[in-house]
Amino acid sequence: MSIMKNYVNNVLGGLIEKDPEQREFHSTAKEVLTTIIPALEKNPHYKEARILERLVEPERVISFRVVWEDDKGEVQVNRGYRVQFNSARGPYKGGLRFHPSVNLSILKFLGFEQTFKNVLTGLPIGGGKGGSDFDPKGKSDREVMRFCQSFMTELSRHIGQDLDVPAGDIGVGGREIGYLFGQYKRVCNSYEAGVLTGKGLEYWGSLARTEATGYGLLYFVKNMLEDQGRSLAGQTVIVSGSGNVAIYAIQKAQELGAKVVTCSDSNGYIYDPNGIDLAEVKAIKEVRRGRIKEYVATHPQAEYHEGCSGVWSVKGDIALPCATQNEIDLEAAKILVANGVKAVGEGANMPSTLEAIAHFQGNQVLFAPAKAANAGGVAVSALEMSQNSLRYRWTFEEVDAKLKDIMKNIFEDAKSTAEEYGCPGDLVAGSNIVSFVKVADIMLANGLV
């Protein structure tokens, strides 16, 4: 085994030994570390400086108690976190996730991913992630507000526009960011607009931030297809999820002439042979905060199936997983390939398992990895920070044009780096190497910190 392969295996083994239960974190670390071996071989001084050991260790992890009162007057206790992973390139930046599955392994995986993803945007942001095991599902607005206020009362000590800038993720959208911002302002006694992104437009959120992750995903996939002389127009697209990423991915896919036939939530999925009616999905998810199965009540030609993983059995040309981590396992990947899928674009974070990625790449499926393909959301968050610092606002068209450029650059960087390092067409390796080399060089330049 080569020296660098051995080095990577030792570091990965060390992670498993130290925190054996952090499986999600191990799998993202494995994906990144095994694909950057060519960069380690080119730069042997990284090993001497123990860059990998330093990279996999978050700079700071904060865990705290969140106590709040529900509508019945009962006391509830949740756990809150912020993982400040890497500040080589700027203030820690990354979303907050409110979901019962949240634990340190999930947040370390997301914070590690975010560190690499954020470098790809080319903007001055480090990487972080946070959240809570609080479940917003079924909670009233007042309960969500009380939870957010309690959560921010503690979090406010650890964040700031030049220190750490949270945003949304699963379970945290405009409503939650509004309550969090209100409490930050109250506790800190200052109007620091750039402390959170994804804010409402009235209090200096960026135009196009809501759409950015979904739109950015489609811009990336469009670049990837066009590079191969293909087009999105006329393609059948399978989307999973029905949250913010899925909704704007569907919208842009339709605008670009594709036909989207599915979407899903954690209970099941919809198949609409006529193409998904996005206005109805928005009404269900954004206005009524309902379940996706309600779609068939107004669209009798559509089918609802219990169980969200069945969505991958639908035949299509392009699959866009936009729900959550590990939603495409090897079995799902095999079905997609057998059904003739030509491209996969990851809208969620780490939706494909390592085995699924290997299966796609081994069967000539064009594969757009999450870090690159879904970076549009955080890129526009960074543009929101710029606008807040300038105390200025760009138009929707200006932000959208910048987003398009950023996604094009990410695709081109990943593609050319994959070629340079001897793995042409492998956008997973290409994007990991681009980010790794940039972060590693800064860490070296900044000394032993």
Question: Positive or negative, the Cα torsion across 200, 322, 216, 82?
Answer: positive
Rule CB under 6 A: say whether 150 interacts with ligand GLU. no
Rule CB under 6 A: say whether 381 interacts with ligand GLU. yes
Residue 404 CB, nearest approach to ligand GLU (Å): 18
Please provide the DSSP assignment of 243-271 as one string. SHHHHHHHHHHHHTT-EE-EEE-SSEEEE
Piece of 3-11, 90-98, 231-239, 399-407 that binds ligand GLU (CB under 6 A): 90-98
Rule CB under 6 A: say whether 385 interacts with ligand GLU. no
**Options 155, 167, 320, 344; binder of ligand GLU; rule CB under 6 A:** 167
Rule CB under 6 A: say whether 378 interacts with ligand GLU. yes
C-alpha neighbours within 13 Å on the C-beta side of residue 211: 17
**Options 90, 95, 205, 345; binder of ligand GLU; rule CB under 6 A:** 95
Residue 162 CB, nearest approach to ligand GLU (Å): 15
SS3 94: strand
HEC letters along 344-409 = EECCCCCCECHHHHHHHHHCCCEEECHHHHCCHHHHHHHHHHHHHHHCCCCCHHHHHHHHHHHHHH
Piece of 52-60, 87-95, 331-339, 412-420 that binds ligand GLU (CB under 6 A): 87-95
342: which 2 tokens? 């030509």
Q: Could you give the CA distance from residue 282 to residue 310 in angstroms, rounded to a whole number?
A: 22
Q: Which residue has the tokens 């980010």?
A: 435
Q: Could you give the CA distance from residue 228 to residue 101 in angstroms, rounded to a whole number?
A: 39
Question: Positive or negative, the Cα torsion across 17, 19, 23, 26?
Answer: negative
Rule CB under 6 A: say whether 94 interacts with ligand GLU. yes
DSSP state for residue 309 in the 8-state scheme: G
Q: Looking only at residues 329 through 358 of this chain, which bind ligand GLU when binding is defined by CB under 6 A?
A: 349
Residue 84 CB, nearest approach to ligand GLU (Å): 13
Q: Looking only at residues 184 through 203 of this chain, which bind ligand GLU when binding is defined by CB under 6 A?
A: 197
Question: Positive or negative, the Cα torsion across 437, 439, 440, 445?
Answer: positive
Rule CB under 6 A: say whether 164 interacts with ligand GLU. no
Considering beta carbons, is residue 235 or 240 the nearer one to ligand GLU?
240
Piece of 146-154, 339-347, 374-382, 430-438 that binds ligand GLU (CB under 6 A): 374-382
Piece of 34-42, 305-313, 373-381, 401-409 that binds ligand GLU (CB under 6 A): 373-381
Piece of 56-64, 92-100, 357-365, 401-409 that binds ligand GLU (CB under 6 A): 92-100
Using CB positions, name the residue nearest to ligand GLU. 95
Rule CB under 6 A: say whether 93 interacts with ligand GLU. yes
Residue 96 CB, nearest approach to ligand GLU (Å): 8
Considering beta carbons, is residue 7 or 394 the nearer one to ligand GLU?
394
Which helix (DSSP H) or strand (DSSP E) does residue 212 occupy? Answer: helix 209-227
Rule CB under 6 A: say whether 91 interacts with ligand GLU. no
Which helix (DSSP H) or strand (DSSP E) does residue 16 occupy? Answer: helix 3-18
Catalytic residue among 129, 199, 285, 415: 129
129 catalytic? Reply is yes
Rule CB under 6 A: say whether 268 interacts with ligand GLU. no
Please provide the DSSP assignment of 265-284 as one string. -SSEEEE-TT---HHHHHII
Rule CB under 6 A: say whether 169 interacts with ligand GLU. yes
With DSSP H G I counted as helix, E B as strand and the rest as coil, what are the percentages for the chain, rounded to 5?
A: 50, 15, 30
Catalytic residues: 129
